[in-house]
Amino acid sequence: MPITWALPEIDKNGCTGCGRCVAACPPHVLSLEAERPNGWGKKSAVLDNADDCTGCAKCYAVCPFDAIKMVRVSD
């Protein structure tokens, strides 16, 4: 039987780059990414390392803009 868990999926249009999800992430697998080089432009959160994500959904819980949803995945 496959193992199922959830990973955060970030809506880049809804994300404001506030960083709350990045700060709330215990395994530190989220980061902020800028549109242009050297940190310029609109920022949004990205999942850098899906393999180390625990699926705890703390990022989802702290997002005040509903820009994160948890999506079920299986191995």
Report the percent of the chain where pLDDT is more than 70. Answer: 99
Integer Cα distance of 1 and 49 in angstroms = 24
Chain centroid to CA 16: 12
The pLDDT value given to residue 74: 82
pTM of the model: 0.89
CA distance 68 to 65: 8
Q: pLDDT band at residue 40, thresholds of 50, 70 and 90?
A: very high
Q: Residue 3's pLDDT is what?
A: 72
Give me the CATH code for the 4-74 domain, please: 3.30.70.20
Mean pLDDT of the chain: 94
Domain definitions of the chain by residue range:
4-74
What tokens appear for 47 in the block?
A: 């999942």
pLDDT at 42 over 90: yes
Residue that the structure tokens 């990022």 belong to? 59
Q: Is the pLDDT of residue 1 over 90?
A: no
Distance of CA 30 to the CA centre of its chain: 5
